Each structure stands twice: as C-alpha cells, then as structure tokens.
C-alpha cells in the first residue's frame, strides 16, 4: 500500500488501505506499507525501495489506481525502474471529466519543454505557410 497523508486527511492513505484490506481478509503479514509518499512519483519510488528491501522481483507485479490515472502512473513506474502494469479502478461518472482534465494538465506540465517546442514549431510552420 502506498500513499502519504494530505493536509486534509486524518491518516495516511496507505494506512487506511491497509486497515481496509485486513478488515476484508488479507493477512497483515502480506501487506507492505509506504506512508511517506506525497505524489505518484514518490509512490513508485518508495514502493520500489520497499520491494527491494523485501527481496521481491521488480519485474513482476501490478499496481492499482484510479482508471483515469493508470497511464501517468505507469510512466512513473517505468521511470523508477518498475516493469509492472497497472489496473484501474472505476471512477464515478460525475468526477471523470474533472479527473481527465487534471491528468491531461499533469502530463502537459510534466513534458512542458517538449510541448512548448511543439507549439512554437506549429506556429512557425503556420506562419511560413500563410506568409508564402
């Protein structure tokens, strides 16, 4: 379980997930917890260290997150050296538009130099087309 504690949360996300898993029959001995991460990159990075510390294979496994977040989370997993796939959990329809916009903006910001150069290139090409 991976997830820290936001300023508006009573306990770290991973601790809440652990309690839920135990309540639903998962043995506590089967649960590893990262309660320090503050973002998706740290979720993957700190989880990788926990996997290493416990002698588990970095090339086998899955992660679970919201369905709209799997793509970006998988990018962070690869970035830190986890060759794992993600499974998305269903998102409420009323929240989905906001979540997709948030993910889109996060991807744009993560690759801002590339997107800035692409926009400049498009402007230059369009300018040359209209000038000639």
Q: Residue 49: its pLDDT value, please?
A: 96
Find, among 4, 56, 8, the residue nearest to 33 by Cα. 4
pLDDT digit string, tens, across residues 38-59? 999 999 999 999 999 999 998 8
**DSSP-assigned states of every residue in 108-119:** HHHTHHHHHHHH
Q: Residue 6: its pLDDT value, please?
A: 83
Q: Are residues 101 and 130 in the same domain?
A: yes
Distance (Å, rounded) from C-alpha 20 to C-alpha 25? 9
Q: Are residues 130 and 75 in the same domain?
A: no
Q: Are residues 105 and 84 in the same domain?
A: no
Q: Are residues 12 and 46 in the same domain?
A: yes
When the pLDDT of each residue in the chain is averaged and rounded to a whole number, the result is 92
Q: Are residues 58 and 8 in the same domain?
A: yes
Q: Are residues 100 and 66 in the same domain?
A: no
CA 26, 27, 30, 32 dihedral sign is positive
Q: Are residues 84 and 101 in the same domain?
A: no
Range 92-99, long-range pairs (CB < 8 A, 24+ positions): 96/68, 99/66, 99/68, 99/69
Domain of residue 113 covers: 91-132
Tally the domains of the chain: 2
DSSP state of 24: T
Q: Residue 74: its pLDDT value, please?
A: 95
Q: Residue 19: its pLDDT value, please?
A: 96
Q: Which residues of the chain have pLDDT under 70?
A: 132
């Amino acid at each position: 379980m991976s997830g820290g504690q936001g300023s508006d949360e009573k306990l770290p996300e991973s601790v809440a997930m652990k309690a839920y898993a135990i309540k639903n029959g998962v043995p506590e001995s089967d649960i590893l917890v990262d309660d320090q991460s503050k973002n998706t990159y740290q979720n993957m990075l700190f989880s990788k260290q926990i996997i290493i510390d416990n002698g588990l294979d970095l090339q086998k496994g899955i992660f679970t997150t919201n369905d709209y977040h799997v793509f970006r989370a998988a990018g962070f997993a690869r970035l830190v050296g986890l060759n794992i796939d993600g499974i998305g959990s269903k998102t409420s329809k009323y929240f989905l538009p906001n979540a997709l916009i948030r993910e889109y903006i996060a991807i744009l910001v993560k690759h801002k130099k590339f997107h800035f150069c692409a926009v400049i290139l498009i402007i230059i090409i369009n300018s040359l087309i209209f000038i000639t």
